[in-house]
């Protein structure tokens, strides 16, 4: 046999046939079947077919939606607070009361922005927590919160509070004289608890500029707590509400028409409650406190505007009715 002639033997298999398997086999070779032909066919179908293009877009959309859903579920609480932040704040405020510990408030609200003595000659300390559209004031005796007060500085921020008498006080949404309601939503006349109202209008830069209504006297039924609500001029323009310029302290039934007009035109923008503290509403929209058998006046139930940063003072921050 000539040296330049190949040895006789079987012809090499056709490479194209080998790629998809022997035509006589029932199934093609698995590796080749999975690795080449179906994917190539899908690619050609997807690129050339309108239906294939739509299916591809749908699959990409589903992948994006799934990724977004995983992200939202993973950031659930943060996403909720970012979108429904007012409702989230209402839930936080609903859990705050006089009688809480200061550490509990810090856990819910963060560290206070301002801390100062609440009443000269006493161990009472005032803590102010700045929040979005509102602030929280806590007066502590040791580690206990004995006065808790919430001030709304935006007409749209309208939390409600369950009082020690099991009534409701809603800020901003109702005029001051009907801010307190029963569980049946029927208004309770302002001052019905004790009938006392204390109004200190603006006259000089240092004026208190608040109107305070006493909701209920301390009693066994209220578990030793009293509550108050009213209008703080730090986030409202009391003078423009028709309250006049004369201060008043006494029963609401005997109040001047100008004071009654203020309670009808302005929504309440603050709520306060006390616990484990002998408190009595007094003149100049402030309260007296019984300490060691002596009454000491000058306790604010809602922050004094000089204790707040100027940027937070919002004269138009209270709804008019």
* Tens of pLDDT, residues 297-309: 999 999 999 888 8
Determine how many CB atoms are found less than 10 A away from the CB of residue 298.
16
Predicted local confidence at residue 252, as pLDDT: 83
Residue 90: which pLDDT band, with cuts at 50, 70 and 90? very high
| 109 and 203 within one domain | yes
Residue 31: which pLDDT band, with cuts at 50, 70 and 90? very low
| 266 and 157 within one domain | yes
| 113 and 45 within one domain | no
Predicted local confidence at residue 25, as pLDDT: 47
Domain C-terminal end among 28, 46, 74: 74
Predicted local confidence at residue 269, as pLDDT: 94
Predicted local confidence at residue 118, as pLDDT: 97
| 100 and 59 within one domain | no
Q: Is residue 128 part of a domain?
A: yes
Q: Is residue 227 part of a domain?
A: yes
| 99 and 63 within one domain | no
Predicted local confidence at residue 173, as pLDDT: 87
Do 301 and 286 contact (CB within 8 A), yes or no? yes
Residue 23: which pLDDT band, with cuts at 50, 70 and 90? very low
CA dihedral 146, 152, 156, 161 (to 10 degrees): 20
| 146 and 112 within one domain | yes
Domain count, the chain: 2
Predicted local confidence at residue 161, as pLDDT: 95
pLDDT tens for each residue of 166-180: 889 999 988 888 888
| 129 and 62 within one domain | no
Three-state SS for 57? helix
| 206 and 242 within one domain | yes
Do 101 and 143 contact (CB within 8 A), yes or no? yes
| 57 and 101 within one domain | no
| 208 and 59 within one domain | no
pLDDT tens for each residue of 216-272: 655 555 566 899 999 998 988 766 555 567 899 998 888 888 888 888 888 899 999
Domain C-terminal end among 47, 74, 101: 74
| Domain of residue 29, residue span | 15-74
| 145 and 19 within one domain | no
Three-state SS for 74? helix
Higher-pLDDT residue of 185, 230 = 230
| 200 and 301 within one domain | yes
Q: Is residue 84 part of a domain?
A: no
What DSSP line would sit under 250-297, residue for residue?
Answer: EEGGGS-HHHHHHHHHBB--EEEEEESS-EEE-STT-EEEEETTEEEE
Q: Is residue 83 part of a domain?
A: no
Residue 55: which pLDDT band, with cuts at 50, 70 and 90? low
């Amino acid at each position: 046999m000539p040296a330049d002639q190949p040895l006789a033997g079987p012809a090499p298999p056709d490479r194209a046939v080998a790629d998809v398997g022997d035509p006589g086999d029932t199934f093609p070779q698995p590796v080749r079947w999975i690795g080449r032909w179906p994917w190539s066919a899908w690619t050609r179908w997807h690129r050339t077919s309108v239906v294939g293009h739509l299916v591809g877009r749908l699959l990409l959309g589903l992948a994006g939606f799934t990724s977004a859903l995983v992200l939202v579920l993973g950031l659930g609480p943060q996403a909720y607070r970012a979108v429904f932040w007012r409702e989230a704040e209402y839930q936080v405020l609903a859990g705050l009361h006089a009688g809480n510990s200061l550490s509990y408030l810090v856990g819910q609200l963060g560290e206070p922005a301002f801390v100062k003595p609440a009443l000269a000659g006493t161990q009472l300390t005032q803590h102010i927590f700045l929040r979005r559209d509102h602030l929280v004031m806590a007066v502590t005796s040791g580690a206990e919160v004995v006065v808790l007060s919430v001030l709304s500085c935006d007409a749209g921020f309208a939390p409600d509070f369950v009082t020690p008498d099991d009534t409701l006080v809603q800020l901003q949404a109702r005029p001051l004289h009907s801010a307190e309601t029963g569980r049946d939503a029927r208004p309770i006349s302002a001052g019905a608890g004790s009938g006392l109202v204390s109004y200190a209008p603006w006259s000089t830069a240092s004026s208190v500029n608040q109107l305070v209504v006493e909701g209920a006297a301390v009693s066994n039924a209220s578990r030793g707590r009293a509550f108050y609500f009213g209008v703080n001029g730090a986030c409202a323009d009391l003078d423009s509400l028709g309250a006049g310029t004369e201060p008043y302290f006494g029963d609401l039934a005997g109040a001047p028409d100008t004071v009654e007009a203020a309670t009808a035109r302005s929504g309440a923008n603050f709520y306060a409650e006390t616990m484990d503290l002998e408190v009595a509403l007094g003149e100049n929209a402030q309260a007296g406190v019984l300490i060691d058998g002596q009454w000491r006046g000058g306790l604010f139930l809602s922050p004094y505007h000089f204790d707040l940063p100027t940027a937070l003072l919002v004269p138009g921050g209270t709804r008019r009715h």
